[in-house]
Amino acid sequence: MKQIILILLILLSFSILSAKEGGVIMNKTAVFAGGCFWCMQGPFEAEKGVIEVKAGYTGGSTKNPSYEEVSSGTTGHVEAVKVVFDPSVVSYERLLEIFWHQIDPTDAGGQFADRGTQYYTGIFYFDDEQKKAAEKSKKDIQASGMFDKPIVTAIRPATDFYEAEAYHQDYYKKNSFQYLLYKKGSGREEYLKETWEKTRDKSLRKKLTPLQYQVTQEEGTEPAFHNEYWDNHKDGIYVDIVSGEALFSSTDKFDSGTGWPSFTKPINKDAVVEKKDFSNFMFRTEVKSKNAKSHLGHVFNDGPQPTGLRYCMNSASLRFIPKEDMEKEGYKEYLKLFVK
């Protein structure tokens, strides 16, 4: 009887790990050191596909160190975060991008106001795949020309990770006021804004057409009936022109008569965020993409059933991917929308 129960438990475990197409998808772990771990949890926790983020200590020889011991700079440990993620939803490369955008990779003495070896930056890899991805990302950052000093962030094999004390976990949530004061006072906030936001803006100006930039970044509106997708009737999905996030499906598109592409709903509830918009002497609900924060358009309550909503979007914010191209462009998971 015990053997039968054991077999059933093993089968249950495999069924939990089962993923699309019958494959086995197991969650993976990444570890990053970016100075004060208070500032590192939030950016990763906001990413879809990240399951858990823990603040802690790694890289040293002391077993089960306390915060006070690590803060002394004598343990060899650095403050770090352990990120558990679903690789079928978010890639390790995307996590690397998030990491670089939280730090000053040229600082050899710590991070911002925090000085000492315990605040050194680092990427701790678990296998050759992560190592190669980390090394490539570091090389790309150095080659980008953004920095006139060498990138000093270390890439090291992962070692034991010790979770920090409970009061350090999600400090940015539990003590938001103190956290914001610290982030600003340490110089991190200003540096990240100056370094990454300005760089992103320059990159977008090169990547996007003037109209696409005006619409997505400056909340502009393109002309009705004179845009790319208002009368597109092909099967496929519409993704964010900036980030490639999947936003809308042709299965939810309808002719609203307004001259802009209109949909009854997003491709999933987490694809977009909505905010009140009082501009131009009107009261509306603005729609933005969740990750890239691109302005997409507005949503109104005059749409058809079953939702009664009209997501009135700008073609300039979108890129259409035909059904026949979805798999090769990495959107295979959305083909299920077209199965009747």
pLDDT digit string, tens, across residues 104-120: 999 999 999 999 999 99
Catalytic site residue 39? no
Catalytic site residue 36? yes
- Give me the half-sphere count of Cα atoms (radius 13 Å) on the Cβ side of residue 176: 2
Rounded to whole angstroms, the Cα distance separating 28 from 88 reads 10
Active-site choice (30, 31, 33, 36)? 36
Question: pLDDT digit string (tens) for 234-277?
Answer: 999 999 998 889 999 999 999 999 999 999 999 988 889 898 88
- Could you tell me the pLDDT band of residue 140, with boundaries at 50, 70 and 90? confident
Beta-bridged to residue 191, according to DSSP, are: none
Output phi, psi for 10, to 5 deg.
Answer: -65, -45
What is the number of other CB atoms lying within 10 angstroms of the CB of residue 333? 14
pTM for this model (two decimals): 0.61
Beta-bridged to residue 46, according to DSSP, are: none
Where b means 16+ CB within 10 Å and e means fewer, 233-244 reads: eeebbbbbbbeb
Active-site choice (312, 313, 316, 326)? 312
Residue range 215-228: average pLDDT? 95
Output phi, psi for 229, to 5 deg.
Answer: -115, 5
pLDDT in the model for residue 14: 42
Question: pLDDT digit string (tens) for 279-334?
Answer: 777 789 999 998 788 999 999 999 999 999 999 999 999 999 999 999 998 899 99
- pLDDT of residue 125 exceeding 90, the answer is yes
Give the domains, in start order, of the chain with CATH numbers. Answer: 22-202 (3.30.1060.10), 218-338 (2.170.150.20)
pLDDT in the model for residue 248: 97
